[in-house]
């Protein structure tokens, strides 16, 4: 009974910013690792950012210093603030909730981010 709904994608010029949001239903959000993945046409899915249940964060080298992942426990929402966007950031971005100990993995529907040169 977990569902993720993503929003915030769109079209932006290089150098601009977008903020993605992922709202979770259910009662396990606070115990879960939340990830943002992206997949561009013709490329493999890539992990771009993670945040643990305790708030520790990790980023792919390609986005480090430009993207920030955060979570709001009260609203059961994870955000990805994307600054200084590049054309290489163009992809469908997917939110994922995971609880490894339970073997649970839930994906959002994806939201398109397009960065024009």
Nearest Cα residue to 82 out of 21, 4, 1: 21
Model pLDDT for residues 6-32, shown as the tens digit of each residue: 999 999 999 999 999 999 998 888 899
pLDDT tens for residues 36-57? 999 999 999 999 999 999 999 9
Residue 64 CA to residue 74 CA, distance in Å, equals 27
* Cβ contact 113:10 at 8 Å: yes
Do residues 66 and 14 lie in contact, with contact meaning Cβ atoms separated by under 8 Å? Answer: no
């Amino acid at each position: 009974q977990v569902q993720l709904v993503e929003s915030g994608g769109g079209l932006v010029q290089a150098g601009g910013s977008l903020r993605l949001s992922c709202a979770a239903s259910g009662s396990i959000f606070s115990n879960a690792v939340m990830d943002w993945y992206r997949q561009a046409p013709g490329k493999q899915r890539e992990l771009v950012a993670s945040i643990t249940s305790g708030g520790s964060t990790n980023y792919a080298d390609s986005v480090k210093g430009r993207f920030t992942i955060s979570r709001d426990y009260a609203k059961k929402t994870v955000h990805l603030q994307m600054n200084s966007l590049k054309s290489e950031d163009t992809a469908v971005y997917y939110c994922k909730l995971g609880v490894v100990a339970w073997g649970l993995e839930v994906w959002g529907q994806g939201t398109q981010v397009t960065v024009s040169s």
